[in-house]
Amino acid sequence: MKNTRARFGRVLSPVHLIPLSFLAAILVGTALLWLPISTAPGQHTGPLTALFTATTSVCVTGLVVVDTYIHWSLFGKVVILLLIQLGGLGVITVFSTLLLLLGRKFTLSDRTLLSETFNLNTRSGLIRFLRRVVTGTFLIEGIGAALYSIRFIPRYGAARGIWYAVFHAVSAFCNAGLDILGPDSLCGYSSDAFFLLVTMALIVSGGLGYVVWFDLTDSLRALLHPKDRRRGRLRLTEHTKLVLRLTAVMIFCGAFLFFLTERRNPATIGAMPTGEAILNCLFQSVTLRTAGFSTFPQQSLGEISCLIGDVWMFIGGSPIGTAGGVKTVTVFIVFWNAVYYIGHRRSTAIFRRKISEEMVRKAAAIVVISALSTILMSVLLCVVSGAPLQDALYEMFSALATVGLSRALTPTLSGASRLLVVTGMYLGRIGPISMAIFFANVRSKGRGMEYAEGRFYVG
């Protein structure tokens, strides 16, 4: 009996519970969306369509096989919104919040699960961290909804305008990319600077990561203290400084590259005035980092732009937030380690802080496994669907990085191809998290052993 309990405990470890929680949410969402009440009059929802939509909502991806604005009833759209919020915060986070509201005390195992969910290295201050995450999320989404209302209420009326504002604020902050405006995503707002700037701000806020939020707010609060005010500078951690720099580099370099490659393409930004073209390039660079909204057709992008898009989607946002991808810091650590190796330096460091060897190995493992998974599933999608390689790559990079952009391929996919994309979206949502937890905590049988050094050759 004792052995059975031990085996059961091992099965329900955080490494397994986190992926299973997302799977359970997807199955519940599928059942709800399959109900006749979820479908708009005159439309039909099959089980595969319900599964695909539930997966893209919980995994905050944004790929769709039916037009969200017309296929689903109000009830169905509310279900989708709740699934997006659930997927953006994380199932364990939402469940822990409910326990907190009910006044239940958190056990050691609860705290362990919560720390693994956020991929934190400590169990101290978790309850305060959880409160700040939930409060901060609703605060930013509320501000976003209020700003969106300025555009939506005059156009759709008070009730519908507020509903649209709330839906798109949650979708943008959670980096879901699902909209209920029409079949062309945000193409109708490509010249509305206010609307696009609000959307970009929400996307970036979700993609920065909770740790960065709290470090920024704590540092700003400390700066108001007389002693810190005299120093006149923010006291940011090395992680926050790195994330802010990488985010700025990704956004502005991406925008610059898209402007160079697409300026003469009349199907994207070629026909836009220069200022509007720059704004849309900035938006494209931001949305590729797992948001999934678009202001021009992605199938009109040139080959070079598609390649840039694949890379940007693969990298994604920053750790411990709503964004997907392998994360900016992960890719940077792999790149920076190579730079330091070429420079014949003994250890990798940034901001005068050493990056541990375990962190370098973990980052390399995540990048390699994610890259191999994406390439393998892209090839499978080509074989199963017969789609061009460029479109299949864009689709699978988008699915596995939970972005949601497509070169108009998703609605044309067969049943088998859709199941493949569903698998990609699920793996993309739980893959980097599960891999990070696995490489950080799982102890192999031979971990404590030291082997004799072998003779191998590389390069």
pLDDT score recorded for residue 8: 40
CA distance 218 to 102: 28
pLDDT at 343: 83
Q: What's the confidence (pLDDT) of residue 443?
A: 47
What distance in Å separates the CA atoms of residue 32 and residue 46, rounded to the nearest whole number? Answer: 12
What's the CA gap between 402 and 325, in Å, rounded? 7
Q: pLDDT at position 15, please?
A: 66
pLDDT of residue 219: 82
In this predicted structure, the answer to whether residue 439 has a pLDDT above a threshold of 70 is: no
Give me the mean pLDDT over the 126-146 stretch: 90
> How does the average pLDDT of the chain come out, rounded?
86
Residue 72, φ and ψ in degrees, nearest 5: -100, 145
- pLDDT tens digits, one per residue of 283-342: 999 999 888 899 999 999 999 999 999 999 999 988 888 888 899 999 999 999 998 888
Query: Worst-scoring range by mean pLDDT, 111-115, 120-124, 194-198, 270-274?
Result: 120-124
Identify the burial level of 135 via C-beta atoms within 10 angstroms of its C-beta, where 0-12 means exposed, 13-18 middle and 19 or more buried. exposed
Confidence of residue 432 (pLDDT cuts 50, 70, 90): low
Q: Which amino acid is at 111?
A: R
Span 293-302, pLDDT tens digits:
999 999 999 9
Q: In angstroms, rounded to a whole number, what is the distance separating the alpha carbons of residues 283 and 277?
A: 10
CA dist 36 and 263 (Å) reads 46
349 has which bridge partners? Answer: 354
Whole-number Å distance between alpha carbons of 81 and 178: 9
pLDDT tops 80 at residue 167 = yes
* pLDDT of 10 strictly over 70: no
Cβ-based neighbour number of residue 237 at 10 Å: 15
Residue-wise pLDDT for 218-251, tens only, equals: 887 777 766 655 555 667 888 899 999 999 999 9
In angstroms, the CA 227 to CA 322 distance is 35
pLDDT of 7: 45
Q: What is the pLDDT of residue 122?
A: 66
Q: What is the tens place of the pLDDT at every residue in 386-412?
A: 999 999 999 999 999 999 999 999 999
Dist CA 17 CA 103 (whole Å): 23
Distance CA(99)–CA(388), nearest Å, equals 48
pLDDT for res 9: 44
Q: Indicate the SS3 state at residue 242.
A: helix
Q: How many residues does the chain have?
A: 459
First vs last C-alpha separation in the chain: 54
DSSP type of residue 104: P
- Of 412, 380, 414, the C-alpha closest to 396 is 380
CB-CB contact of 93 with 18 (8 Å): no
For 96, the token pair is: 């822990």
Cα 93 to Cα 111, 129, 234, distances in angstroms: 11, 11, 30
d(CA 275, CA 367): 36
What are the pLDDT digits (tens) for 35-52?
Answer: 999 999 999 999 999 999
Return the bridge partners of 39, or none.
72
C-alpha–C-alpha distance, residues 91 and 14, integer Å: 12
Query: Are the CB atoms for 286 and 175 separated by under 8 Å?
Result: no
Residue 98 has what pLDDT?
81
Q: How far apart are CA 61 and CA 402, in angstroms?
A: 4
pLDDT value at 140 more than 70: yes
Task: Give the DSSP H or E segment for 349.
Answer: strand 349-350
DSSP string computed for 170-216:
HHHHTT----SS-TTTTGGGTT-HHHHHHHHHHHHHHHH-HHHHHHH
CA–CA distances in Å: residue 172 to residues 34, 131, 211, 293, 399: 25, 21, 19, 8, 17
- What whole-number distance in Å separates Cα of residue 55 and Cα of residue 122? 31
Domain ranges of the chain: 11-441
How far, CA to CA in Å, does 107 sit from each of 100, 110, 111, 112, 128?
12, 5, 6, 9, 15
Q: What's the average model confidence in pLDDT over 87-105?
A: 80
Q: CA geometry: angle at 147 spanning 211 and 258, to 5°?
A: 70
Which tokens sit at 300?
């009109």
Task: Name, in order, each residue with C-beta under 8 angstroms of 137's C-beta and a sequence gap of 6 or more.
Answer: 88, 89, 173
Segment 124-153 shows an average pLDDT of: 90
Q: If you search the block for the tokens 């949305």, which residue do you land on?
A: 287
Q: What is the pTM of this model?
A: 0.88
Rg (the chain; Cα; Å) = 22
Task: Find out whether 207 and 289 touch, Cβ atoms under 8 Å.
Answer: yes
pLDDT-derived band at 3 (thresholds 50, 70, 90) equals: very low
